[in-house]
Amino acid sequence: MSNSDARKKPDIRLLFEPKTVAVIGASAQPGKIGYSICRNIKEGGYQGKLYPVNPKGGTIFGEKVFTSVADIPGEIDVASVTVPANLAFEAVKACADKGVKHIQVITSGFAEIGEADLENEMVQYAIDRGCRVLGPNIFGLFSASARFNSTFSAGTIPSGAVGILTQSGALGIAMIGKCALENIGLSAIVSMGNKADIDEADCLEYLIQQDLTKAILLYIEGIKGGDRFLQTLRAATKVKPVVVLKSGRSKRGAMAAASHTGSLAGTDEICDAILRQCGALRAETLQDAFNWCKCLKDAPLPKGERCVIVTNGGGVGVMATDACEKYGVELYDDQKVLAQAFDEATPDFGSTKNPVDITGAAGAKDYDLALAAPAKCPTMDSAIALYCETAVFNADNLVEMVRGTYKTYQAAGKPITYALVGGKTVAQAAEVLKEEQIPVYTEVYDAVSNMGALYTRYRMAQLRDDKIDEARIDLGAIEKTIDAVLADGRSFLLANEGQAVMRAAGVTIPGAKIAKSADECAKAAEAIGFPVVMKVVSRDILHKSDAGGVVLNLKSAGEVREAYERIMNNCRAYKKDAVIDGIEVVEMVKPGVDLIVGARKDGQMGPIIMVGMGGIYVEVMKDVAFRSANLSRGEAQRMLQSIRCYPMLAGARGQKPKDTASVVDHIIKLATIIKRVPRITDIEINPVVVYEQGCKAVDVRILIKK
Ligand code: COA
C-alpha cells in the first residue's frame, strides 16, 4: 500500500482558513514575490501565525525568519513556495517531510513549459506523504473568512460575496483589479495554475459550504477529471449561482474523429451543453461574468416569465426588445392589463404597449409612477428601466429616482435592472448607484443581459433534475463480446458483434440470419418476414454492391431463391476464388424518422451522449445535441426536443407522432453502456429508425480501447 492510500487527505478548509502559514523563499527585498506574499499576509489582517523561511535568517515584517522549514515548531497548515524552479522540488520535499498540509507552489517552470515529468514527481512526492498541492504556477490564494491574502497582488483585495477560481494567473490578477474598480468584493480568489493536484472540484467543495460566498465565478481553459468536476458543479449550482468563463474554442482534431459523436461538434459545443446541464451560466465576456455575479449574488429571482420594459425613449426601447430576444427575456403582452397599469404614467403620445414608452417628457415622478406598476401588479414579474438623458428630466433627480424604485422592487421581491444612457452627469449618477450595489448599467444590452442571467437561473431552477437514470443491460454478455474482439486483435466491432452488444442492451435490431443455400435463405426470409434484403458474406468481397452481392426488397420465397442464384453467380464472376461464407438475409427496415444516437468517453467531459438527425446527411445537417451521460429520462427528453428536426418526431404536417419515449430509452441505454463498460470508448447507432411505436437500430458502430 502506498502512503497516499494510507493517509487521509487534509481538510480543504485548512487551505482557505489556515491557523499557521510558512513562506519558503520569504524575502526582505521589496519587489520580490517572496516579499509581496509576506507583506500581503501581514497587512491583510491575517490572525494566524506566519513563519518566513530563508537560509539567511533575520526578521521579515517583525517575524523571526527560520532557516529551514523543519525547524518551525508545531503543525503547518499552508506553506507557500516562492523559490526558483530548480529549488522548488527540494522545498516541496522539506514541506512534505515536515507534514505541511497544503503546499502552494507559486513557482513557474513546470508542465506549462513542458516539464510535466518534474512536476508530476514533485507533486507525487507530496501527495504520497499526505500533503495536497495547489499549483504550481500560481499567484496564490485569498480567503476573506480568514482575512488570508497569500497572493502577490499589488493592492488590497476587497472582501465580499463573490468567490473566483481562475486557471489563468495573469487574468486572475487583472480580475482582482477589476473587482476593486467594479466595487465587487471577494469571498475568495484561487489561482489554480497547472492543477497538478488540487483542482476546481476541490475548491468548489469549499465554496459551496462557505457562507460568505453568494456567487461563484470560474475561469477555465481545460477541464481535468470531468466526471467529478461536473458532479461538484451540479452540487454547487443547486445552492449558489455559478458563472463560467470558458475559453479555448473547439479544436476538432482534439476529438477522436473516428465516430460522428466525436467529429460532429467541437469540444466547446459539448462543453457549452454540459455546463448548462449542470446549471452553470456561461458568460462570453469578462464584463458579463462580473455583471452577472454582481447581480445574481443578491437580486431576487423572478417568479414568472412576464417582464416589462419602461422607457422614456422609443429607440432604446426597441434596442432592449432586441436584446430581450437575444438573452431570453420574455415580454409581458396582455394589452388590457398593460393599458390599465400604465395609463396614468403615460401621456397620450406615449405607449402602454410593452416596451412602455412614458416619452421624453417624463420626469422622476412619472418614472416612480410607471415603475410602481410592475412592482405591484401580480401578473408582472420583473422590470427593465431605461433612461435616456433629456432636457426635461433633471439628472440630479436620477439617483433618487433609481434608489427609490429599486427599494420598492426589493420590498416586492421582484428583480429590476436599469440602463442609464447619456453624458457625464448620467455616467456620474450611474457610478454612484453602482457603488450602492444597484444593478445599473450604461448600456441597454448590459441591463438586459443581467435580467437574462436571472431568467436563465430561474429556468434552470424550474427544470432542475438531479436524477440519473440507467437501463438494465447484460454487462457480462457485452464484456464477453469485447474479449473476443480483443483476442482477434481489433479495436472495432464487426456488424454481428455490434448487434450482439445491442441485444445485450435490449435494443431492437432488424432480424437477420446467415444461410448457405437457396432453400435455407427462403426459410430464413419466411421466419424474418417479407420483404427482405440479401447480402453476400465474404471476407474476400469488401464492396458487396460492386460485386452484385446485394439484392433489395425481395417479397416472396421464389424471389429469394432466384436472388440466391443471382448473387452467387455475380460474386463468382466478380472474384473467381472468393470464399463465400453464406448469404445474410436481413429484414428490410420500413421507413420512419432517421436519428443518430451516440455516446463516447470524452477526454475532458467524461462520458457524453449525443442525439440528432441521422441518416447519410448527419455531417451536413449537424442537427445534434449533447449531454453528460449522467442524465435523467427527463433531461434526455429535453435534449431530444432541442434538435431542429424534433417537429418531425412530434408529428409535423399531419403525420402521427413518433415514439419519442423509445428514443429516450435508447439514449439511456447508450448512456448506461458508455458509463458501465470501461473498454467501450465510442458507440453509435445511425440510423435509429423511429416509428409510431418503437425504434429499430439499423447500423451500429462500436470502438474499444485496445
Ligand atoms: N529556502 C528558502 N528560501 C530560499 C531557499 C530555500 N531553500 N533558497 C533560496 N531562497 C531564497 C532566496 O535567497 C531569496 O531570498 P532573498 O531575496 O533574501 O535573497 C528567495 O528565496 C527567492 O529566491 P530568488 O532566487 O530571489 O527567486 P526570485 O524571487 O527571483 O524568483 C520565483 C522566485 C518563484 C518568484 C520565480 O522563480 C518564479 O517562478 N516566478 C514566476 C512566478 C509566477 O509568475 N507564478 C505564476 C503566477 S500566475
Summarised one tens digit per residue, pLDDT across range 345-378 is 999 899 999 999 999 989 889 999 999 999 999 9
Pocket test residue of 23, 24, 29, 33 for ligand 1, highest count of atoms within 8 A of CB: 33
What pLDDT was estimated at residue 538? Answer: 85
Point out which residues pair with 385 in neighbouring strands.
310, 418
CA distance 683 to 368: 60
Angle at which helices 364-376 and 335-342 pack, to 10 degrees? 140
Say yes or no to pLDDT of 393 above 90. no
Measure CA 5 to chain center: 31
Inter-residue contact 278 to 606 (CB < 8 Å): no
Q: Is 29 in the pocket of ligand 1 (CB under 6 A)?
A: yes
What pLDDT was estimated at residue 253? Answer: 36
Summarised one tens digit per residue, pLDDT across range 205-253 is 999 999 999 999 999 887 777 789 999 999 999 999 999 998 765 454 3
Please state the rounded mean pLDDT for residues 176-199. Answer: 94
Pocket test residue of 24, 59, 83, 138 for ligand 1, highest count of atoms within 8 A of CB: 83
Burial class (CB in 10 A: 0-12, 13-18, 19+), 569: exposed
DSSP state of 455: H
Ligand 1 atom nearest residue 109's Cα:
39
Nearest CA to ligand 1 atom 23: 83
Strand ranges, E, within 520-663: 532-537, 550-554, 582-587, 593-602, 606-613, 624-628
Confidence of residue 603 (pLDDT cuts 50, 70, 90): confident
Q: Is 84 in the pocket of ligand 1 (CB under 6 A)?
A: yes
Q: Is 113 in the pocket of ligand 1 (CB under 6 A)?
A: no
Whole-angstrom CA distances from 194 to 112, 135, 227, 677 are 7, 5, 19, 31
Residue 286 Cα to ligand 1 midpoint, Å, equals 31
CA distance 20 to 100: 10
Summarised one tens digit per residue, pLDDT across range 465-518 is 889 999 999 999 999 999 999 999 989 888 789 999 999 999 999 999 989 999
Whole-angstrom CA distances from 421 to 215, 309, 358, 389, 441 are 28, 15, 16, 6, 8
Q: Is 33 in the pocket of ligand 1 (CB under 6 A)?
A: yes
Ligand 1 atom nearest residue 33's Cα:
35
Residue 660 Cα to ligand 1 midpoint, Å, equals 62
Q: Is 139 in the pocket of ligand 1 (CB under 6 A)?
A: yes
Residue 83 Cα to ligand 1 midpoint, Å, equals 3
Say yes or no to pLDDT of 526 above 60. yes
State the alpha helices, DSSP H only, in 507-579: 518-528, 557-574
CA distance 287 to 184: 12
Confidence of residue 306 (pLDDT cuts 50, 70, 90): very high
Least confident of 68-77, 93-102, 134-143, 226-235: 226-235
State the alpha helices, DSSP H only, in 300-360: 314-327, 335-342
What pLDDT was estimated at residue 456? Answer: 97
Q: Is 453 in the pocket of ligand 1 (CB under 6 A)?
A: no
CA distance 614 to 264: 12
Instruction: Reply yes or no: is the peptide bond before residue 73 cis, omega within 30 of 0.
Output: no
Summarised one tens digit per residue, pLDDT across range 553-597 is 999 999 999 999 999 999 999 999 988 989 999 999 999 999 999
Copy the grid coordinates of residue 673.
453502456
The three-class DSSP label of residue 460 is helix
What pLDDT was estimated at residue 263? Answer: 42
Pocket test residue of 23, 24, 27, 72 for ligand 1, highest count of atoms within 8 A of CB: 27
Confidence of residue 396 (pLDDT cuts 50, 70, 90): confident
Ligand 1 atom nearest residue 108's Cα:
39
pTM: predicted TM-score of the whole model, two decimal places = 0.89
Say yes or no to pLDDT of 5 above 60. no
What pLDDT was estimated at residue 390? Answer: 84
Summarised one tens digit per residue, pLDDT across range 434-462 is 999 999 999 999 999 999 999 999 999 99
Say yes or no to pLDDT of 9 above 90. no
CA distance 106 to 99: 19
Residue 14 Cα to ligand 1 midpoint, Å, equals 24
Q: Is 106 in the pocket of ligand 1 (CB under 6 A)?
A: yes
Residue 39 Cα to ligand 1 midpoint, Å, equals 15
Q: Identify the sign of the CA torsion 650, 656, 662, 666.
A: negative
Q: Is 654 in the pocket of ligand 1 (CB under 6 A)?
A: no
Q: Is 54 in the pocket of ligand 1 (CB under 6 A)?
A: yes
Nearest CA to ligand 1 atom 30: 32
Nearest CA to ligand 1 atom 39: 107
Please state the rounded mean pLDDT for residues 540-548. Answer: 84
> How does the average pLDDT of the chain come out, rounded?
92
Say yes or no to pLDDT of 102 above 90. yes
Copy the grid coordinates of residue 466.
438531479
Residue 686 Cα to ligand 1 midpoint, Å, equals 58
Confidence of residue 8 (pLDDT cuts 50, 70, 90): confident
What pLDDT was estimated at residue 4? Answer: 43
Please state the rounded mean pLDDT for residues 306-326. Answer: 96
What pLDDT was estimated at residue 7? Answer: 58
Q: Is 32 in the pocket of ligand 1 (CB under 6 A)?
A: yes
Q: Does residue 64 or residue 540 have the better pLDDT? A: 64
Nearest CA to ligand 1 atom 18: 27
Residue 171 Cα to ligand 1 midpoint, Å, equals 22
Q: Is 206 in the pocket of ligand 1 (CB under 6 A)?
A: no
Residue 34 Cα to ligand 1 midpoint, Å, equals 6
What pLDDT was estimated at residue 266? Answer: 52
Burial class (CB in 10 A: 0-12, 13-18, 19+), 251: exposed
Please state the rounded mean pLDDT for residues 135-149. Answer: 97
What pLDDT was estimated at residue 256? Answer: 35
CA distance 590 to 613: 17
Point out which residues pair with 600 in neighbouring strands.
608, 682
Residue 85 Cα to ligand 1 midpoint, Å, equals 8
Q: Is 53 in the pocket of ligand 1 (CB under 6 A)?
A: yes
Reference 266, options 610, 661, 659, 615; nearest CA is 610
